[in-house]
């Protein structure tokens, strides 16, 4: 259980999936947060007017120009889904607000409110870290200290040491909060994946159950989502005289036979194929990118291995029907494979039959 709730045990690809999931989960929240941040920044123009005691035309451009990076960000977000790019874009927008704030502050006659601006920016960084990997948020937030040091070169803060004394603890505290939040989301992520896996897995044989077909279909349809020009074959197989195994040797022995056959199937099919427990002793194999000629060869290999293997209970054979998926409702191809399988039964069992409309 520890390996499932600790990122150090994740492969590079698994980590990428986790961080993408985290980004997707908080994306709408971060979008709203950034919209609020930009709106708040624009509203500070009225604060500038209060400081000047008149219309603050001096800060009008640095206040309004924030709309440009925000629009760039929104265009990017509509086209790019990769968290590695968009999290950087999030933080680039936040830092652009800091730089524009420094520009506005430089033009103000009174700079005593700079500390208040830093409080607001720390809050924005705290919210932005929800969707970001911990190290992204740590580096991005730590750069705010560099922003302060660079801004001091032309703003000449009267209380620079207080700016650092206030912001460094805030950065550390918020980064630690992001670390704890990431671990909390990791627990949610692993639990969700476990439940999804259980929903798609046959508990006895540890191959897929029928629910897997919904994942392969286009939304709200019974049509497979494979490319229309891809060959797709379906194998449907049944253990011959399996009822006798249960009746004579017991259901526990029958379960052992099913588990053994499932293991055999895993050794015969390709990584891209789907093995589904279709019924009590029936298994369906969905083979994208595989024509019927190759599918028949694989089915024959499965049949021979099953006949010749020792499952620890008794000798078994299987009858297999093969059919080609030609688009449309997948129930039709399964019906065709079922007809071919029962033709194999009628022909004497322990054989492979390819479905033909004739």
Q: Which residues are catalytic?
A: 281
Strands of 318-325's sheet, edge to edge? 274-277, 282-288, 232-239, 318-325, 352-354
Using CB atoms within 10 Å of the CB of residue 3, give its burial: 0 to 12 exposed, 13 to 18 middle, 19+ buried: exposed
Angle subtended at Cα 87 by Cα 33 and Cα 72, rounded to the nearest 5 degrees: 75
Strand partners for 353: 321
CA separation for the pair 68, 215 (Å, rounded) = 40
CA separation for the pair 189, 25 (Å, rounded) = 10
Backbone angles phi, psi at 230, to 5 degrees: -95, 135
- Which alpha helices (H) appear in 130-211, and where do they start and end? 134-155, 160-200
Using CB atoms within 10 Å of the CB of residue 226, give its burial: 0 to 12 exposed, 13 to 18 middle, 19+ buried: middle
Q: What are the E-state strand segments in the chain?
A: 232-239, 274-277, 282-288, 318-325, 352-354
Coil/strand/helix, residue 14: helix
CA separation for the pair 342, 320 (Å, rounded) = 8
Coil/strand/helix, residue 233: strand
């Amino acid at each position: 259980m520890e390996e499932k709730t600790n990122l150090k045990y994740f492969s590079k690809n698994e980590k990428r999936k986790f961080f993408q999931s985290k980004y997707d989960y908080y994306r709408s929240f971060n979008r709203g947060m950034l919209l609020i941040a930009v709106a708040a920044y624009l509203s500070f123009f009225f604060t500038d007017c209060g400081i000047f005691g008149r219309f603050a035309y001096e800060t009008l451009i640095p206040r309004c120009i924030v709309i440009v990076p925000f629009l760039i960000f929104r265009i990017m977000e509509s086209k790019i889904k990769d968290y590695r790019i968009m999290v950087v874009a999030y933080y680039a927008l936040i830092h652009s607000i800091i730089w524009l704030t420094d520009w506005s502050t430089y033009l103000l006659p009174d700079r005593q409110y700079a500390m208040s601006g830093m409080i607001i920016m720390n809050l924005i960084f705290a919210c932005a870290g929800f969707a970001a990997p911990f190290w992204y948020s740590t580096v991005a937030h730590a750069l705010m200290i560099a922003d302060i040091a660079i801004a001091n070169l032309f703003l000449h803060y009267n209380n620079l040491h207080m700016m650092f004394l206030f912001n460094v603890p805030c950065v550390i505290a918020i980064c630690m909060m992001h670390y704890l939040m990431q671990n909390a989301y990791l627990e949610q992520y692993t639990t969700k994946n476990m439940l999804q896996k259980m929903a798609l897995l046959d508990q006895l044989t540890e191959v897929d159950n029928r629910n897997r077909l919904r994942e392969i279909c286009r939304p709200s349809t019974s049509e497979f989502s494979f490319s229309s020009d891809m060959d797709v074959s379906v194998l449907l197989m049944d253990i011959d005289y399996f009822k006798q195994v249960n009746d004579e040797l017991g259901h526990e022995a029958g379960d052992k036979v099913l588990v053994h056959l499932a293991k055999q199937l895993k050794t015969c099919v390709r990584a891209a194929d789907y093995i589904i427990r279709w019924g009590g002793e029936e298994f369906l194999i969905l083979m994208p990118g595989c024509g019927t000629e190759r599918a028949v060869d694989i089915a024959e290999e499965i049949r021979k291995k099953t006949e010749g293997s020792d499952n620890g209970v008794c000798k078994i054979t299987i009858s297999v029907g093969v059919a080609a998926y030609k688009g449309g409702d997948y129930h039709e191809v399964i019906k065709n494979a079922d007809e071919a399988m029962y033709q194999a039964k009628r022909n004497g069992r322990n054989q492979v039959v390819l479905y033909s409309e004739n």
